[in-house]
A = this chain, B = another copy of it.
Amino acid sequence: MTILDGKKTADDIKNEITAQVTIMKSNGEKVPHLAAIIVGNDGASLTYVGSKVKACERVGFESTMVKLPSTTSETELLNKIKELNQNDDIDGFIIQLPLPIQIDTQKVLMAVDPTKDVDGFHPENFGKMALDMTTFIPATPFGILELLERYNVETQGKHTVVIGRSHIVGRPMSILMGRKGFPGNSTVTLTHSYTKNIAQITTQADIIITALGVPNYLKAEMVKDGAVVIDVGITRVADDSTEKGYRITGDVDFEFVSKKASFITPVPGGVGPMTIAMLLKNTLLAREQRKARN
């Protein structure tokens, strides 16, 4: 059994990006610039955005954090987005979700210039992905592809079962695993809350990608010997023995599933750390595309 080490892989990617930025600088080129908009004071959101800014600093990107009060109106946010769309110094930007209830999230995501949409949430970019065109792939699915690629996990002709149909993980993952190329060319089954006999389906899978958010959901008896198991679940479970009072738990009953799997991602340290690395990669791509256009 091989652990798909997301922490190490993310570090490798960040080092590679740092090297590229160093070359850009020595050539006197503009370095990638990522902006992040955060509305309100949600603790988890602030932590996520903080990590993204820190990651930018580490690889030598410029970064801008735009903090707006929780009372921000939809129009005010749309105006800010327009400003970032028009600001030629910004290569890409993200809007930290969730947004306060007075704001229509879909409308806001639609307002982002697709060429700066490094989260890959704009329908045009999502459609390009589904139509096998080059585009920004949402960070979590992109991170999973990168792990499969770097560990040379065979996907062609394999049966991949995806659990959960969210817009940010399950749906795009199901599309990407069935696309032409590598990683891809998988037979893909997308399962969700209406799926019957889920264990009957997962036991047939060569690759299982679970993005459900239910701790220890995937038991050993649901997995066949030698399966590849990717755990996208991140749930805080109360745990008095830890300093924070909780621990992060995945969807996979790791202790027992890991005994049957050929490859498996741990939680934490698997898919999670890859997400920010792939956001950086998308921002670098946005910079390169902007340069090629100008």
The answer to whether A195 touches B187, judged by C-beta atoms less than 8 angstroms apart, is yes
A260 sits at the interface (CB 8 A): no
| Stretch from A57-65, A120-128, A143-151, A236-244 forming part of the interface with B | A120-128
User: Chain A's interface: helix, strand, loop or mixed, by majority?
Assistant: mixed
Interfacial residues of chain A within 154-178, with CB under 8 A of chain B in the complex: 156-157, 159, 165, 167, 171, 174-175, 178
The answer to whether B123 touches A127, judged by C-beta atoms less than 8 angstroms apart, is yes
What is the distance, in angstroms, from A5's C-beta to the closest C-beta of chain B? 28
The answer to whether A190 touches B187, judged by C-beta atoms less than 8 angstroms apart, is yes
Cβ contacts A66-94/B at 8 Å (1 or 0 each): 00000000000000000000000000000
A36 sits at the interface (CB 8 A): no
With A and B bound together, what is the CA distance between A190 and B123 in angstroms? 22
What is the distance, in angstroms, from A271's C-beta to the closest C-beta of chain B? 21
Contact of A127 among B125, B156, B194, B201 (CB under 8 A): B125
Q: A122-B127, A124-B124, A195-B187 are in contact. Are A133 and B156 (CB under 8 A)?
A: no
Chain A interface residues (CB < 8 Å from chain B): 106, 122-133, 156-157, 159, 165, 167, 171, 174-175, 178, 185-192, 194-196, 201
9 A-B Cβ contacts within 8 A? A122-B127, A123-B130, A126-B126, A127-B130, A132-B167, A171-B175, A175-B175, A178-B190, A187-B196
